Amino acid sequence: MTIREAINKASLQLKTKQIDSPKLKARLLMQFLLDKDRQYLLVHDTEKLTLEQEKSFFNNTKKLIKGIPLQHITHGQEFMKMKFYVNKNVLIPRPDTEVLVEEVINIAKRINAKKILDLCTGSGAIAVALAKSIEGSEITATDISDKALEIAEINAKNNGVDRQIAFLQSDLFDDIPSEKYDIIVSNPPYIKKDVIKKLQKEVQNEPILALDGGYDGLKFYYKIVQQADEFLKYKGYLCLEIGYDQKSDVLELIDKQDKYTGTYCKKDLYGNDRIIITKVGD
């Protein structure tokens, strides 16, 4: 079977099973199999696959049909133009989160922030992207999951910023040394418990620990907003990613604490409310 025939066949199988973007996914699986770019496939589409390659390609197609995310098969995701290794133990970094990272970079450059805490780091996407963009930054990246932290460390090494990031296992602030940071950033789990089972199969195959925000989706914001000021310098920033429908709830949590000021929200590229920024002070 040629490259083109295999892609067409897989694409049809995916389409029949209502997998979205079937053509693109079939092509990306082929690129992964052959370790080649799109251009190569276009030029060599009549090249024959070996039987072994064919078997491996259609095995991976089956995995997609079972709902395994493409990125868990190819072990890769681009974020902020950098490559991240991912597996079943970490959330696949999303383009929405780039809005948060870009805002934190702007703030850090404006206030000359160097000490940054990334809570709930997962694959390390936020911490690594910040370390890469903020010269001289010292970042502490934490997660409750040791398996996620292993992946985050791999990503820091692969992107050449491992010396700027300290990794620490902690249930939110529980094991964080009492230091003061210029910025605390977090993309915590924020999906309502009973919504998780209604999500696409692919998302449900991501770690539950990365999704589950409790019965109202706000469990983590409540704790973070309550404690962050103890770990922030005066006028230090708290920067949070939120779900598209959580703006008013998170603003209310922040308001109730009566210790933050200058709070604002920004939208993502799709026009959804996506990040909330606030700072310690009156």
Ligand X SMILES: C[S@@+](CC[C@H](N)C(=O)[O-])C[C@H]1O[C@@H](n2cnc3c(N)ncnc32)[C@H](O)[C@@H]1O
Binding stretches for ligand X (CB under 6 A)? 90-91, 93, 97, 120-123, 125-126, 143-145, 148, 171-172, 187-189, 209-210
Using Cβ positions, the residue closest to ligand X within the complex turns out to be 122
Given the complex with ligand X, which of 29 and 99 has the nearer CB atom? 99
Q: How far is the CB of 164 from ligand X (least distance, A)?
A: 17
Given the complex with ligand X, which of 117 and 120 has the nearer CB atom? 120
Q: How far is the CB of 167 from ligand X (least distance, A)?
A: 12
Q: How far is the CB of 56 from ligand X (least distance, A)?
A: 28
Q: How far is the CB of 77 from ligand X (least distance, A)?
A: 9
Given the complex with ligand X, which of 130 and 254 has the nearer CB atom? 130
Residue 248, phi then psi, degrees to nearest 5: -65, -35
CA distance 84 to 156: 9
Given the complex with ligand X, which of 73 and 80 has the nearer CB atom? 80
Q: How far is the CB of 138 from ligand X (least distance, A)?
A: 18
Q: How far is the CB of 259 from ligand X (least distance, A)?
A: 22
Given the complex with ligand X, which of 6 and 104 has the nearer CB atom? 104
Given the complex with ligand X, which of 60 and 143 has the nearer CB atom? 143
